[in-house]
Structure 1
Amino acid sequence: MYYYFPDNYRWSSAFNLALMSGGTLGELHRGLGHLDGSDPDNLDDVAWGQAWANMAREQEEQAAKDLEAGFPRSAGARYLRASVYHASGERMIPPGEEKTASYKEALDAFGKAVELSPLDIELVQVDSPDGVLPGYLIPARGTDGPAPVVIFYGGFDVTKELLYCFIEDTFRNRGISCLVMDSPGVGEPLRFRGVPSRPDYEVPTAAVVDYLETRTDVDSSRIGIMGISLGGYYAPRSATFEKRIKAVAAWGGIWDWGKTWEKRWGTRSKTVSVPWFQLPWVMGTETMEEGLERVKQWTLVDVLPKLTQPLLIVHGENDRQVVVADAHSAFEAAGSEDKTLRIFTVAEGGAEHCQTDEPDPARQLIADWFVSRLR
């Protein structure tokens, strides 16, 4: 992984994630260069959030000038990057008014990008036991009649706007629609309504599938599901108990996330992508200790042997957040007859967590795999 901030995994991984989402190296360097040399053992996340907010607002100011000049698409592209920069800063801000304000700015900028670019996506609202779950449907191109669709879940700290930036037209250009979702413990449900994650993710997934079955442009007999990072738990868990799902991909293999967190906290790991507040916040607990107890339910040990649908697990050889051995354990336990494990190596690139160091080969591989399973 490229360490823009030497010996600082958390900030450097966020830097790479922003590049993966469409940020540009020049803008990031101009906006973050003054933070280089920060003490990795005493990170100033206030300065971090302010730097990203300044970068976002610079893009918004330039977008306004583009609009004055009559260039709405140029403005839309800038607003899309502004949304990424707001979201990147927001990830390190603890829950509270400042975090909520930063998140709203990310949503506003994304909305302007949708309007001005214009992005060919549809905002959807899915009724579920956890309340309304929002998402964006990216419709397939070049299909006659209803198209297959892949539900795309985020993980521990990735919102639907970033998911869109990760995937954009990758599925659309293959004749597959993609539904990127904010789900329990993620995005709007967590930030605006305090909805924590839940171990039985088949419950919200059933609601999403129910919704997809109402759409005439979706072939409900060809629904796939994928998840990135912690989504590597959400998607396989969902498919195991929701048999209307026909194929599942884990962009990052998860095995026993409770044990992963036990090790992280016990060693005070320096290779965690977000501050420690994230676990109790997502788990819906008051304390870290309560969060560590609750997260023990996030395990696939007894789940994956029951999985029957085709399964793809994509992992990095040098993943320092979730060890590669977990991907092997998940693969070996899976009951699917059709199962594939793809480990990206250091030599070829894409060896870091969810291939944030070199994401496109994994992104293309996953989409091609779904094409072959959702025919």
Structure 2
Amino acid sequence: MRPVLFENNPSFWFETLRSFGHIAYGGADFGEVLTTSQRIREGDFDSWYDEWLSTADRVAEVAREAERKRHPASARDAWLRASNYYRSAEFFLHGNPGDPRIDHVYEASVAAFRAAMALSERPVTPVEIPFENTTLPGYFYEAADDGRGEPHPVALIHNGFDGTAEECHFFGVPGLVERGYHVLAFDGPGQPGPMHREKLVFRPDWETVVGAAIDFVLTRDGVDPERIALIGLSMGGQLAPRAAAFEHRVKAVVAIDGVYDNAANFIADIPGDTREEKAAVLRAESAPDVDAQLERSIANSPVTRWAMSHGAWVYGVDTPRQVLAAMLDYHLGDGIAERIKAPVLVCSAEGDLFFTGQPEALHEHTPNSTLLVFGDELGANAHCHVGAQRLATARVADWLDETLRPTA
């Protein structure tokens, strides 16, 4: 999908397309996204924050006014949009983790989303999932009642490198609920809830996170323990299959989009003929030539600029080279992919900005997997198929229905 705004900045365009895509499940309105984007100075992080904050505050006031006048449906819809706009405002700020604007808009986003869920037609409960010596934040959505009184399948869904548990809603959670799935959307370490609350950074052993989520969801009434699906978005397309390789209570996995090696595309230009040689350079005590190379890349590439600044925050490191070194731990090599017992749906976007070739690599190494390619002719070729949320949700949900369908 060719840029129609921010033609010279693929990061700004993708994040704008992301908000356009969230229109499908109530996370935006076309005119609000368009007019906000037109006010933003391309490449200017402060301008991005200011304009999205202005729109979010305005829409939040619309929600408050609707509540004052006792129009709950209007209030819910406005709160949903405000939540997503606050999320967008924060997006490019993480190069300075001490910036007070980060917590301000994150907390406003969560508060707006919870206000919307309190007005939801179906019960949606904010939850805290016990995890080691803390908890992980999430939301439990109750499935639409099919009148049969039988346990429902449950879909666990989490985001990836930068998205929130709240944003999962706009990636199609309502579409799963209306098809008869309970849904648990949650943040794990490295993701926004744990990062904002206690700086709990990413960890490769994602099966510990998913195991805790499964333990929790099985305490809820009406959950079928034999029909547990796991959906991972973006970097979650590596984390979710990793978890399923070790956590065999997962009966179906969806990677949107699939990632076999999180570091591979980012270390392609690092000196060395093999992954091991590149890893040695990245983990060396000193590598001034590589550090200078990365600084040039940051200066020339908006995508690299954002990925390195955000990566330092969520991996808990200080330099771009350390970010790439941390990424090396997030992969499905060494036989991990081959350990997955559950069926896996590997989604692939032909125009992916970040992980070109990775879905195909995951599919190649995962025995019981199906590759689902979304192309440009569908308007669905962007990373995570943003801009085609209804289409993507339908195809994922149909695959889950067929995979988890009870046997007679």
Fold similarity call, TM over 0.5: yes
Distance 2:221 2:61 in 1: 41
Partner of 2:88: 88
Distance 1:205 1:220 in 2: 14
When residues 115 and 273 of structure 1 are mapped into structure 2, their CA distance, relative to the original with a 3 A threshold, is: farther
Distance 1:247 1:198 in 2: 22
Contact 1:182–1:188 under 8 Å retained in 2: yes
1:368 equivalent to 2:398? Answer yes
When residues 242 and 198 of structure 1 are mapped into structure 2, their CA distance, relative to the original with a 3 A threshold, is: same
User: What pairs with 1:118-133 in structure 2 (closer than 5 Å)?
Assistant: 120-129=123-132, 131-133=134-136
Unaligned runs of 5+ in 2: 270-292
Partner of 1:345: 375
Partner of 1:194: 199
Contact 1:130–1:184 under 8 Å retained in 2: no
Q: For residues 33-89 of structure 1, what are the alpha-carbon distances to aligned partners after superposition, in whole Å with 9 as ceiling and x for unaligned? A: 1225x3xxxx21011111101001111222232233331221221111001000011
Q: For residues 180-236 of structure 1, what are the alpha-carbon distances to aligned partners after superposition, in whole Å with 9 as ceiling and x for unaligned? A: 111111121011110011111001111111112222221112111010100101110
When residues 224 and 130 of structure 1 are mapped into structure 2, their CA distance, relative to the original with a 3 A threshold, is: farther
167-176 vs 181-190, which moves further:
167-176
Contact 1:148–1:222 under 8 Å retained in 2: yes
Contact 1:315–1:344 under 8 Å retained in 2: yes
Distance 1:52 1:288 in 2: 27
**Equivalent in 242, 253, 257 of residue 237 of structure 1:** 242
Between the aligned residues of both structures, percent identity stands at 29
Partner of 2:111: 108
Aligned residues: 367
Partner of 2:143: 140
Q: For residues 3-33 of structure 1, what are the alpha-carbon distances to aligned partners after superposition, in whole Å with 9 as ceiling and x for unaligned? A: 3222211111111111222211201222231
Partner of 1:15: 16
When residues 309 and 355 of structure 1 are mapped into structure 2, their CA distance, relative to the original with a 3 A threshold, is: same
1:86 partner amino acid = Y
**Equivalent in 203, 208, 213 of residue 218 of structure 2:** 213
Q: Which has the larger radius of gyration?
A: 2
Post-superposition shift, 1:261? 2.6
**Equivalent in 318, 322, 327 of residue 286 of structure 1:** 318
Distance 1:159 1:273 in 2: 21
The alignment partner of 2:265 has SS state of helix
Q: What CA RMSD, in Å, does the superposition of the two structures yield over aligned residues?
A: 1.8
1:326 partner amino acid = Q
Distance 2:338 2:78 in 1: 46
Distance 1:319 1:344 in 2: 10
When residues 186 and 273 of structure 1 are mapped into structure 2, their CA distance, relative to the original with a 3 A threshold, is: farther
Post-superposition shift, 1:117? 4.4
The alignment partner of 1:47 has SS state of helix
Distance 1:273 1:218 in 2: 43
Partner of 2:44: 44
Distance 1:346 1:115 in 2: 37
2:14 partner amino acid = S
Post-superposition shift, 1:105? 0.8
Partner of 2:355: 322
Post-superposition shift, 1:300? 1.1
1:24 partner amino acid = D
1:285 partner amino acid = V
